[in-house]
Amino acid sequence: MPHVMIVVSSFYEEISTHLLEGAKMALEEKHCTYEVFEVPGALEIPLAVQYGVQREEGRGAGKLKFDAFVALGCVIRGQTSHYDIVCKECAGGLTRVSLDYSVPIGNAVLTCDSREQAIERAHPEKRNKGGAAANAALELFELSIKTRR
């Protein structure tokens, strides 16, 4: 079973809690193990994932500790261009880590216009984007196994 690193931004606590709950439920349903790491905001998520990629202890010689990664957080549009910068840099950072290291990353860093919109997307009983990101990471992990044969 895959061992997954979940990185969650604590900036919007209620939204992050919903995202994390959905991701955990999805991983537990598939009998995966996971570890959760909290970071302050969305901009810190890519580096935290990269730290996880670079840890090569505990999974055997030459293997990564984590088989897949899940990024969780939320950015809500404000009245300045800061929103656009944070969204672009977080998504770009996650893409770079994924491609540079060939690791599966499920991305549920929500980019929303309002808190209500974010809750709708994050809540496990609604759109459950945390669960969707966990499932995407697992699907990419399975694809990586199939393509290595």
* Active site residues per annotation: 82
Q: Residues 6 or more apart from 80 whose CB is under 8 A from it?
A: none
Contact by Cβ (8 Å): 9, 73:
yes
Q: Residue 5 belongs to what H/E stretch?
A: strand 3-9
| Contact assessment for residue 75 and residue 42, using Cβ atoms and an 8 Å cutoff | yes
Q: Three-state SS for 148?
A: helix
Strand order in the sheet with 68-76: 33-39, 3-9, 68-76, 105-112
- Distance between alpha carbon 117 and the CA centroid of its chain, in Å? 19
* Residue 125: how many other CB atoms lie within 10 Å: 8
